[in-house]
Chain A
Amino acid sequence: MTIADLPDAAPVVRPGVTLTSLSEEVSARVLRPHAPRWWWVGFGISLALLLVLVVAMAWLFINGIGVWGVNIPVAWGLAIAEYVWWIALASGGTIVSALFYLTRSPWRSATNRIAESMMLSAAACAGLMPIMHLGRPGFFYWLFPYSTVMGVWPQVRSPLWWDFICLLCYILMSIMFYYVGLLPDLATVRDLAQTRRKQILYGILALGWRGSARHWRNHQTVYFIMCAIMAPMVISVHSVVGLDFAGGLTPGWHSTQFPPYFFFGAVISGLALVIMLTILVRRGYGFQDIITEYHFNALAKVMLVGSLMLGYSYLWEAWGAVYGSSVADRSEFFFRIFGFYAPSYWAKIALNILIPQLLWLPAVRRSEIGLFLISVGIIVGMWLERFVIVIPSLSHNSIPSYWGVYYPTLWDWATLAGTIGLFLTLFFVFLRLFPIVSIAEVRELVQKRGSR
């Protein structure tokens, strides 16, 4: 959609926002000597959770993977489910900031920094999981294609290896992407900074950005190219995660639909988290003027589309299993929907497909409370979906004599809580150190509005 067809009720930037007021408003959040109370409270809680992660990891590395509930047949447990979950959340951020930059959607501008901060925080959690879940985490570097004394190389046929490489590139790329987008704002903050320490700090980070026309031209080019790379990359990352499963013979995994299926999941869960955080930031920092119903409306619409695509995948999955010729697939599917783990299946249907249909109502799309609740529901629902994909398939495998169930242990849950802690901690740090709304881009909008 273009600026032309904006409903006046919800301007993308409220009137009264001027170029200077905007810059001061946003950078003030970073520059003010004392963070607000809510920030400290949130940050405190995050640190507490982070501590849980530290303990959980220590316990895991000292005693071994056995402290989790994993077993044979269910050799992958929460760790992998959460890996997929986190990477999906991260991708969601990229989709908002990269994909919709390419589509030139104006509402992206105020939310992309939030999305990117979230992307980095979530990617950190995602990156942690595969290493933690290894039987011998100390040897994870054997996945690097290097060979000094052993004379052996990684196995390039393995989806896990593709996944490892993709994740590596994705995280590195995301960091650069975030930083490049941040440059002009760093310069703004530097210029508005009062104390010498801050001036130096942001000065160095700004890499001598002076906003000259040449700077801007290069920046725009680079940023556009990065978006052009990030957009397909995020799709590929998630497709490859999907291939981790599709590449397996396990009933319930061995399906060609996994790559798109996983991407749809990424869209919806990522957007849900963006919406949650946007609402919080908006409240917390009082950005009602620059983050408006317009944004929520747009984000909600995209989320609704995601939900529908996901619903389609669910149908496809059911159809393939029931109509397909494989006894194992069919019985695994029935186990999913009626068996030991059935509640998680039906819960995910409700949270990811049914409830989000409320988004057809404009009122819901614009109400922060409604959106917030739906988003929380979706994030939980997507966690359940990952669980349903990973565990029941393994527990109800091809050989009945080896059917078995998996119960997460205290340490499984501690790991989940811990990674959430890591995510929040990082996000709160971003919140405090860097402009959480892209000053430069919103200025552009204000400029455009003025010129209309």
Chain B
Amino acid sequence: MNAPGRSYWRSLEELAETPEFAALVEREVPRFRDVLAGVDRRRFLQLMAASMALGGLGSGLSACGPEPNPRQLLPYVEQPLGIIPGRSRYYATATTLDGYATGVLVASQMGRPVKIEGNPDHPASLGAASAIMQATILGLYDPRRAQSIVGHGQIDSWDGFVTALFERRDRLMAHHGEGLRLLTGTVTSPSLTAQIAALNKDFPGMQWHQWEPLHRDEERAAAKEAFGRPLDSVYDIGSADVIFAVESDLISAVPGWLAYARHFAARRRPAETGGRMSRVYAIESTPTLIGAKADHRLALRPAELAAAMRYLAAALGAGPQQWSQAQVKDADWLKAAAQDLKQHHGRALVHAGREQPAEIHLLAHAINGALGSFGATIRLIEPVAASPGSQQQSLHQLAADMMAGKVDTLLMLETNPLYTAPADVDFAAALKKVPLSADLALYADETTLASTWHIPAAHEYEAWSDARAFDGTITIQQPQLRRLYGGHSAQELLAVLLGNTMPVDYALLRAFWQSAAKQQGHADFEQFWHESVRIGVVANSAAAPVTATPTADLAAHLPAAAAEAKGLDLIFRPDEAAWDGRFADNPWLLEMPRAFTRLTWDNAALIAPSTAKRLGLATEDVVAIAAGDRQLRAPIFVLPGQAPDCVTLPLGFGRRAGGLGVGVGFDAYALRVVASPWLVAAKSLTKTGDTLRLATVQQHDRIAGRDLVHEGTLADFVKNPHFLKHEGNNESIYPAYKYPGNAWAMAVDLNSCIGCQACVVACQAENNVPVVGKDQVLAGREMHWLRIDRYYSGAADEPSVAFEPVPCMHCENAPCEVVCPVHATVHDHEGLNLMVYNRCVGTRFCSNNCPYKVRRFNFFAYAIEDDRPAESWNPEVTVRGRGVMEKCTYCIQRIRTTQIDALRENRPIRDGEIVTACQQSCPTQAIIFGDRNDPKSAVARRKASPLDYVLLEELNTRPRTSYSALIRNRNPLIKDDEA
């Protein structure tokens, strides 16, 4: 696995691992690799001083001068202020997705970012960090990133580009910018928006197009329809007693979902809220996280969703009565839900997902209006994004103009239309007609290769910028390190067009904010600037709520009810991890098991068991799916909970250019059309006879009578909180061991866990867990220390879902410890089940003897073969070599760091002072870690809950990790087989 990038980025740390030597050793004495494994990867810390010196030096050093060997020790030349060798510093910034910002804190070791953590002060994060956010750090270091400016197929320079753009600029000036087009994603950055406004002044003829493949056009259209102008909704999910979710992405994808999930979960822990719990109804075509948490769920195909919504609207007096006469599936179910919603007037909330048609969004607005949700559970604000319009139309228009030759200069900023454009927009052909097209992109992607100029983009951790969050809050993004592969920011690019030949991102941003701050009436700019940058939030910049009510008679605005759907529906959804394709190059995300399918390294066409049965299909069958005159081949994955006759095609795979993701999975954009971006009718779905092996990490879906998931209803809980407790028999012939000091323990709440996988990737990032690749996952060798098991119960088509995060249980009677012949896994006096990598000889008996199967083995030298730069690994954790066992350590490195600080200060460790990586990233606080011996600690309190239980208690392993039983708040009026 030799990375092209390596040869470009030759820093001291990288040299420290001396690949040649490693290679030699690998060839000559395989055994030594084990010894080296730990060595190479942390070596950079011992040379970190050097790396900083290098930072000051520019990229030159290794070109000249001798290469240092690992035994060398390089101090600074000048000690930078505040940097302490061996201690992490945290810098606030933000990472953006589809334009919307989420605040992060970047842990930095000697100037090397090593870990992304949520920024507790940022409204969209509240301290949590999603899987995608965690993975951006790997994207930053990805050696496959584009590294040189290419003009007309030749390697060129920034100056070359500036010159080219400048001569074009004069021409454009001449005729007022006719033919100048700008294509961006959704833009929330105030500075960028200002620049574009300035451009419009200089070039009146310029047109600005926006395109996000996962656009929110339908939502916007509906809002425009309902309120007269496009307004954004901000939800106060915490105060909603009844939530009606229409394939809602409220706790999985909407901007700010981390915060929503936090408040959602706070209402789902009956043991902590005195037996009070919100109730969730979900109707959806394909499983969503909120659907999995729902107390009542219906799987309906799109047409049925619309019908159901009309029925609901009528039942709640938000629509004409004749709607309630229409025949709908599960009428009584809906009636009961409607009644429940009505009873909670002002404390109810209806939310429809991004992919739902404007019609359903409109109905949702109407119902919310009828339920008095606006101003109560929903706050309306002016749109956060700049000039929100239909992006579908925008892109379509652009492509048309390009075809017509009306465009002679096209600037594309971090967007990849050639891959993401709907199939009926032939962007490739259109692009050929543009004399000068410049693409600013992180990778040499599909669009890049077709444009005349490619400008490698600076990663968002490499440049100064700013962005707004879902509620309008502004974050000033600060760079975390010198640009690894050169690269330029969007602001710099536009500045050139504005006449600045030597744009510097810092100067541009500061200049903008100097004026902006003045307008906002900040007297002391320096103080404002430093505070904003330090905290990662521009103080009280959140958008003010506006009052608006949806127009009374929405029925008028609605098309006639759709006819009964026939045939198969094809629905397009973003992939949980690859998103719209921009993360298809990220190894962590590719190998992240998806919440429901538990699938890695592929996307698949998801269909319901009943449909699969009818069509004679099974998982891994490759089918040809045709819609209109287009078709694609995709492997089938049979997914319980999917709506019948409805095929979900995850977007974001089948990349044709870029990095690691090229050729992984199939490209679902091939069937997407402008007319209906999220849903097309399948012309045919035929079995090809081929099969494709899919790398799922969980083959068996049910608990098979094991004591794994405790589940009950709220009603029973209220009657008797201890209703799930059964007397476990924990007798042992040995006296129980005493833990007088700290007793580290973890409590996992199944009610809170929404299966978002944030903890899985957080653990991978914190603990240097290597990526193994599809083949190894197929061989059953994935390395994730923490996994989220997904169990189904009930009918296959309408299953009830339980997510169960499974880290190491740190059993007090650990079965793994007694069988290790060399003391490589032992218990410590605080109850941690330690794994001593350097002592492990690899008998693997510990894994065989672990009933929870949480141990992972380095069958190959995964970490060594992993091609991330050395400095991207966490120096606080040993990187494991070939042939050793590893597993969750409760983030022992964090425990030790805190312990040492506490010991130095001769004070006890405070509760909440030690936070494990999984706990830290969890948006719903499902995971709590702490000292069980301290009765006041959060973990002790949660373990005291009557719902607390441990896995496989009958084995008497006495796990330190315990779980809170899953409670569903069922509506007594609804009788379904789930209960």
Contact = CB atoms under 8 A, between A and B. Distances in A.
Q: Is A bound to B?
A: yes
Interface of A: 61-66, 69-76, 133-140, 142-143, 152-155, 157-161, 164, 244, 247-250, 326-328, 331, 394, 397-404, 406
Contacts of B882: 64, 135-136
19 contacts: A64-B858, A64-B859, A66-B781, A73-B848, A134-B843, A135-B842, A135-B844, A140-B841, A143-B821, A143-B822, A153-B823, A155-B818, A161-B821, A250-B848, A328-B706, A331-B705, A400-B703, A403-B699, A406-B780
A135 B884 CA distance: 6
B706 to A, nearest CB: 6
Contact of B844 (A75, A158, A401, A406): A75
A136 B820 contact: no
B821 A155 contact: yes
A402 B853 contact: yes
- What 4 A-B pairs have minimum CB-CB distances, sorted nearest first? A135-B842, A135-B883, A71-B780, A66-B859
Given A71-B859, A136-B34, A136-B884, A247 B818 contact: yes
Nearest to A390: B848
A65 B842 CA distance: 9
Contacts of B883: 64-65, 134-136
B860 A74 contact: no
Given A72-B856, A136-B842, A398-B952, A142 B780 contact: no
B823 A154 contact: yes
B851 A397 contact: yes
Given A72-B856, A73-B847, A400 B700 contact: yes
Contact of A76 (B806, B839, B844, B884): B844
B853 A399 contact: yes
Main SS of the interface on chain A? loop
Contact of B780 (A65, A73, A161, A401): A73
Given A61-B30, A135-B883, A155-B823, A394 B848 contact: yes
Contacts of B822: 142-143, 154-155
A403 B698 CA distance: 8
Given A73-B780, A155-B818, A400-B703, 16 more contacts: A70-B844, A71-B779, A72-B855, A73-B848, A73-B853, A133-B843, A135-B843, A136-B34, A139-B841, A159-B819, A399-B806, A399-B952, A401-B787, A401-B791, A401-B806, A406-B780
A404 B699 contact: yes
B853 A160 contact: no
Contacts of A62: 30
A72 B820 CA distance: 17
A249 B815 contact: yes
A400 B706 contact: yes
B30 A72 contact: no
Nearest to B826: A155
Contacts of B900: none
Contact of A135 (B706, B779, B857): B857
A403 to B, nearest CB: 5
Contact of A72 (B31, B34, B780, B815): B780
Nearest to B856: A72
B398 interface: no
Contact of B705 (A153, A161, A244, A327): A327
B708 interface: yes
Interface string B939-968: 000000000000110110100000000000
Main SS of the interface on chain B? loop
B823 A135 contact: no
A64 B865 CA distance: 13
B789 interface: yes
B861 interface: yes
A406 B844 CA distance: 15
A247 B819 contact: yes
From B698, B819, B860, residue with most partner A Cβ within 10 Å: B819
A158 B699 contact: no
B818 A158 contact: yes
B779 A248 contact: no
B399 interface: no
B704 interface: yes
Interface of B: 30-31, 34, 698-700, 702-706, 708, 776, 779-781, 787, 789-791, 804, 806, 815, 818-823, 839-845, 847-849, 851-853, 855-861, 882-885, 951-952, 954-955, 957
A72 to B, nearest CB: 6
Contacts of B705: 327, 331
Contact of B781 (A71, A152, A327): A71
B859 A399 contact: no
From A69, A142, A143, A159, residue with most partner B Cβ within 10 Å: A142
A158 B819 contact: yes
A75 B857 contact: yes
B848 A248 contact: yes
Given A66-B859, A136-B31, A331-B705, A398 B851 contact: yes
B846 to A, nearest CB: 9
Contact of B885 (A69, A135, A139, A155): A135
Contacts of A401: 698, 700, 787, 789-791, 804, 806
A137 B859 contact: no
B849 A249 contact: yes
A158 B821 contact: yes
A326 B955 CA distance: 10
B860 to A, nearest CB: 4
B840 A136 contact: yes
A72 B847 contact: yes
A161 B787 CA distance: 32
Contacts of A138: 31, 34
A391 to B, nearest CB: 11
Contact of B845 (A136, A153, A160, A400): A160
Contacts of B787: 401
B849 A164 contact: no
From A157, A161, A249, A404, residue with most partner B Cβ within 10 Å: A249
B857 A164 contact: no
Given A135-B840, A142-B822, A250 B884 contact: no
Contacts of A250: 848-849, 851
From B787, B818, B861, residue with most partner A Cβ within 10 Å: B818
A149 to B, nearest CB: 13
Contacts of B957: 249
B845 A158 contact: yes
B973 to A, nearest CB: 34
A152 B839 contact: yes
Contacts of B842: 65, 134-136
A45 to B, nearest CB: 30
B78 to A, nearest CB: 40
Contacts of A154: 821-823
A159 B845 CA distance: 10
Contacts of A143: 821-822, 841
Contacts of A244: 845
B791 to A, nearest CB: 7
Nearest to B791: A401
Nearest to A66: B859
A51 B787 CA distance: 43
A394 B851 CA distance: 10
Contacts of B779: 66, 69, 71
A244 B818 CA distance: 11
Given A71-B779, A135-B858, A160 B848 contact: no
Nearest to B782: A72
A160 B703 contact: no
B461 to A, nearest CB: 34
Contacts of B843: 133-135, 160
A126 to B, nearest CB: 16
A10 to B, nearest CB: 48
A332 to B, nearest CB: 11
Contacts of B861: 64
Nearest to B790: A401
A231 to B, nearest CB: 27
Contacts of A140: 841
Nearest to A142: B822
